[in-house]
Amino acid sequence: MPPRPADPYADPANDPYNLLRYIPTDSLTGFAHGAIMLVAIVQLALVWKYKTWWMLVLPISAWIFTEGFAMRLVLARSPESRNAFIVQSTLTVLTPCAFIAVDYMLLGRIARFLGTEKHMIVMPSRITKIFIFSDVATFMIQATGSSLTIINTSNVKLGSNIFLGGLILQAASFGFFTIMFAIWMRRVCTSEPHIWSQDRAKKWYNDWRALAGALVVSCIGILVRSGYRIAEASQGYFGTLATTEWVFYAFDTLPLFIAIAVYIPFWPGRFIPRVNAQGEALKDRHELAPLPDIAPADKPRAV
């Protein structure tokens, strides 16, 4: 390895010890860290308020995601710190897999809540299992490729290819999920008009379609980020996309922020109640159609 430069801030783009190839901007990093941390705190409060424990993974993963930005603050002061780079890279690249998992879980719950499971290509009971397995598998592939590239410099090419393969597989899996979601929406709209418009008397932000719209926004944000990461990885770790700071914030941080922040005004717990009007736990589905009035049968008289 060449000798370390006397001043690591003089020419970071050509500093072989600066793995970012630039000095992170404190203002951008601090703003991103604070904004995502605020989302995590608010969502944690919403989990508690609505008792949507299955959504707890979102604020926890958002908090972990912010630690990646904290490491970028460290890199601004120690731009040649290999350990700080490894931590920030791992957290900012791999943590969003948990954001994807939330979308997988949410679609199945919406379909069961509406009683529209029959319109799903994959039954809601299997969506979480199939796609979470896919998410975990692609996570492991990306982690393997990333570790080979960062830790073992002799396997940079192999690690880059493995990492890129994991990103492509993850994007393909999520793309199929998004198409499946779109097909379900269309089928409900055309085949179940009474369900599609059953909340029309409510304010638009209380209509179940608002929650579905939030899921659409989240899917778009994740797809944009996936496309960016694939393009970045295809150029290599020191390509133009990887070494341009504003591109990272515009096509990675911002889409992911939108993908998770959109659930604050449209928190699933507001639309999918934990219990029904009788205080009974909702299990498999929620009946939308009113039940007919049936007079209770006369009880036999005691003799």
C-alpha distances out from residue 65 to 119, 209, 244, 265, Å? 35, 29, 20, 21
Residue 286 has pLDDT above 50, yes or no: no
Q: Model confidence over 4-19: pLDDT tens digits?
A: 888 899 999 999 999 9
| Spatial distance between the Cα atoms of 130 and 153, rounded to a whole number of angstroms | 34
* Count of helices and strands (H, E) across the chain: 11, 0
Structure tokens at 212: 């579905």
Average pLDDT, the chain: 88
pLDDT (0 to 100) of residue 6: 87
Q: Model confidence over 96-112: pLDDT tens digits?
A: 999 999 999 999 999 99
| Spatial distance between the Cα atoms of 157 and 166, rounded to a whole number of angstroms | 14
On the CB side of 118, how many CA atoms lie within 13 Å of its CA? 3
User: Under DSSP, is residue 297 helix (H, G, I), strand (E, B) or coil?
Assistant: coil
pLDDT (0 to 100) of residue 289: 36
Domains of the chain in sequence order = 12-271 (1.20.1070)
pLDDT (0 to 100) of residue 153: 60
Confidence of residue 152 (pLDDT cuts 50, 70, 90): low
Confidence of residue 142 (pLDDT cuts 50, 70, 90): confident
Confidence of residue 255 (pLDDT cuts 50, 70, 90): very high
| Spatial distance between the Cα atoms of 225 and 57, rounded to a whole number of angstroms | 20
Structure tokens at 75: 């890199």
| Spatial distance between the Cα atoms of 25 and 268, rounded to a whole number of angstroms | 35
- 7 Cβ contact list (under 8 Å, min separation 6): none
Backbone angles phi and psi of 275, in degrees to 5? -135, 160
Q: Model confidence over 212-230: pLDDT tens digits?
A: 999 999 999 999 999 999 9
- 52 Cβ contact list (under 8 Å, min separation 6): 46, 267, 268, 269, 272, 274
**Residue pair 21/243 in contact by the 8 Å Cβ criterion:** yes
As a whole number, mean pLDDT of residues 246-250 equals 97
